[in-house]
A and B are shown apart, each in its own frame.
Chain A
Amino acid sequence: MPQLSLNGIAIDDGFAEAFDMAATGVVITADTAAWARQAAVSMTGFATSVIACGCEAGIDAELSPKETPDGRPGVRVLLFAFNAELCETQLVTRVGQCVLTCAGTACFAGLPTGTPIKLGAKLRYFGDGHQIAKVVDGKRYWRVPVMDGEFVVEHEVNVVDGAVGGGNLLFMGRSRGAARAAAEAAVKAMRKVPGIIMPFPGGIVRSGSKVGSKYKGQMASTNDAYCPTLKGAVDSALTGDVASVLEIVIDGLGFAPIQEAMRVGLNAACALGPESGLVGVGAGNYGGKLGRHHFHLKDLL
């Protein structure tokens, strides 16, 4: 079989396997772009994996004052979970603890269509009877008095089905530094793609997992086939010169934005060339039986 490659870097003839998810989005604005980003970073902090966080969330785009409802700088946050109910629970908790509390912020619906879920409708009770509803252009907002003024939050936001979670890329490097440099270059380029988030710290995950474990009750455990320190001792997927692997996980509002993000990331990492220490790029899957969406790397070249 002919070996796939891009710019001298080996590309596995494999695919990333991804799943159907529900997604919601909010636009967070504040008096400055830095404070809007701070609220979003806090809200999406412990939202790396649905396995234990309940959802996966991240910043999808930075918005100029012209792009936000209240004319202030903002960011859009996307939040993914298994269904609409979990989206609502996670969103209300996170906005209530991380956006309501953050200086000068307001929070609006981030997706124009979908099934409505309650946001301001639940957070308004923080106002203890002093909250004020305001209908502007057919949309209902709540003004909750807080110590720095008013927290403005939209009554309901939208959830869409048909979102996809679990697109991924694996970067195999000769050293930890080489794998990190490749992943960083990919993340930097992929952040420009709209409609996707990379939920792990800095967009990168170093502890890829496999399903199951030798221990009872442990649902997921380390992906030993990709652990370089075990490559001589287990049935390893790594070639001899790989000393470090990093993964980028991508959730998106549909198949197309994830595929585009993977294409952009693959190209950006491979543009570093073999001299950077990047040996190969692969993708993680479960044999193709669990997830409906398959992103073949050969389609991205």
Chain B
Amino acid sequence: MAPLTFTLKAEPPERLDLSGLVPGALAPLTAKEIEAIVLGGGRRPIRVGDVFALRRGDAGAIVFAGGSERLDNVGAGLSGGSLRVDGAVGARLGVGMIEGTIDVVGSAGPWAGAGMAGGRITIAGDAGERAGGALPGRMAGMRGGVLAIGGTAGARAGDRMRRGLLVARALGPEAGSRMIAGTIVAASAGPLPGRLMRRGSLILGTVDGALLPTFLDCGAHDLPVLSLLAAWLGRLALPFRPNVGTAVRRLQGDTAALGKGEILLAG
């Protein structure tokens, strides 16, 4: 069965909240009911039918043909099924998702995968700041699942991350800030990775910029556990697959916080 397809008619006039357009919510609805869902607009509501041309199909597999950085909350709270966006998305992609897959062919705005608990998000392009991070006021960022970014993630990727895997080609400044646990892998990272991290692993090819003085150099090592991770990365469908070897330099920190985290730099 063909997927349920939303074709974007034109650039939306304002930011829209797409959190209602997920497989679980749409499955029982008729085409007319779906077209009547309000996406924003305040006193002059903007409905699905105003922005998208709808093609009926399997609601377990949703496709957005055409994207825009004004489409917020795409796949929010997703609890199963698949969702693909042939274009860009706005803020909070897949926020709090539990299960299922989201594939974005373009780039994503801030807080992509924030607080996600499971499933897999792939973003072929770049992601905004705090990908996999914590929404304002939340105690934890992503707590499970896989968030994969083919391009560059903005500042503070994995902020307050608690569990799960974040993979990116490049990370902005202060990746893994306030991290509680989990694993972040990238070919390169901006300055000051791991700021105030408690536990968790940042596995990085290079760091472009300064390292924090509160990380303690534990020397060069050959760690078999990294071959488990490399094998897993090999099995995942990723827009970018970092080359993880077992030879690393280990820095433990951040000793300004609990100090049980680590930065593993490719040796």
Contact = CB atoms under 8 A, between A and B. Distances in A.
Q: Do A and B bind each other?
A: yes
Interface of A: 29, 69-72, 106, 132-137, 141, 143, 149-150, 152
Contact of A143 (B183, B222, B225, B235): B225
Given A106-B225, A149-B224, 11 more contacts: A70-B228, A72-B227, A132-B201, A132-B260, A134-B183, A135-B164, A136-B183, A143-B223, A150-B223, A152-B225, A152-B228
Interface in B213-267: 221-225, 227-229, 231-232, 235, 260, 262
Contacts of A71: 227, 231
* Among B163, B223, B224, B229, residue most surrounded by chain A Cβ atoms (within 10 Å): B224
11 contacts: A69-B228, A72-B224, A106-B225, A132-B201, A134-B201, A135-B164, A136-B183, A136-B229, A137-B235, A150-B221, A152-B225
Contacts, number: 50
A106 B260 contact: no
B199 interface: yes
Nearest to A152: B225
A137 B224 contact: no
Nearest to B225: A152
A284 to B, nearest CB: 43
Interface residues of B, number: 19
A53 B260 CA distance: 40
A71 B234 CA distance: 13
A70 B227 contact: yes
Contacts of A136: 183, 225, 228-229, 232
Nearest to A29: B224
A134 B224 contact: no
A106 B262 CA distance: 21
B163 A135 contact: yes
B231 to A, nearest CB: 7
Contacts of A152: 224-225, 228
A18 to B, nearest CB: 37
A71 B260 CA distance: 27
Contact of A141 (B163, B228, B260, B262): B228
Contacts of A69: 228, 231
Closest 10 CB pairs of A and B: A137-B232, A70-B227, A71-B227, A136-B228, A70-B224, A152-B225, A136-B232, A143-B225, A106-B224, A70-B228
Contacts of A72: 224, 227
Contacts of B228: 69-70, 134, 136-137, 141, 152
A152 B221 CA distance: 14
A137 B199 CA distance: 19
Contacts of B224: 29, 70, 72, 106, 149-150, 152
Contacts of B183: 134-136
Nearest to B262: A132
Given A149-B223, A150-B224, A150-B225, A132 B199 contact: yes
Contacts of B262: 132
A137 B224 CA distance: 16
A29 B152 CA distance: 37
Contacts of B223: 143, 149-150
Nearest to B221: A149
B142 to A, nearest CB: 12
